[in-house]
Amino acid sequence: MNVGDPVPVFDRLNQDGERVTNIVVGKAVIYFYPKAFTPGCTGESCDFRDRWSRFAQAGYAIFGVSPDPVELLVRFKSEYELPFDLLSDEDHSMADAFDAWGAKKNYGKEYEGLIRSTVVVDDGVVTDVWHNVRAKGHAKRLTRDLEI
């Protein structure tokens, strides 16, 4: 995905097992995180939670996407009181389409996995893309970069 690319419409289950469709209509921040309840992913999600009202006032919906099953997402959303939908991408096809799945290296071992990424869209067009972001402080930097 590059700035200016059209974004395909996705149909994913949210934390409640409900289908979420047309998530790219209007403004949206879609952040991809590897695994619920891990320190980095929890911190990043809580940072988005703490800035959610700023995003909402600027007209942005927020969607967190991970390869976690719905059952884990419902607990994650509830425990951390996240005010936005978490989407299950167990087959990682959404992450693939957003270039958020690929080769990673950890402790000298290479493997395939989710690359922490954020994509901003406006009316079905990519306006900003960040890959390999640091979990800590990312939501704050995003509000600055989007001037909200």
User: What tens digit of pLDDT does each residue of 8-60 get?
Assistant: 778 899 999 999 886 667 899 999 999 999 999 999 999 999 999 999 999 99
Residues 138, 116: Cα–Cα separation, whole Å: 10
Give the chain's mean pLDDT: 93
Q: Which two tokens stand for residue 129?
A: 């893309």
Architecture of the domain made up of 26-145: 3-Layer(aba) Sandwich (3.40)
46 is annotated as an active-site residue = no
- Residue 108: the pLDDT is 86
For residue 138, pLDDT beyond 80:
yes
For residue 115, pLDDT beyond 70:
yes
In terms of Cβ atoms closer than 10 Å to its own Cβ (0-12, 13-18, 19+), residue 105 is: exposed
Q: Is the pTM of this model over 0.85?
A: yes
- Residue with the bigger pLDDT between 48 and 104: it is 48
In terms of Cβ atoms closer than 10 Å to its own Cβ (0-12, 13-18, 19+), residue 147 is: exposed
Q: State the chain's maximal CA–CA distance in angstroms.
A: 43
- Residue 122: the pLDDT is 93
- Tell me the mean pLDDT in the region 124-147: 93
Catalytic residue among 41, 73, 82, 114: 41
Please list the residues that pair with 12 across neighbouring strands.
20
Task: Report CA torsion sign: 117, 55, 3, 123.
Answer: positive
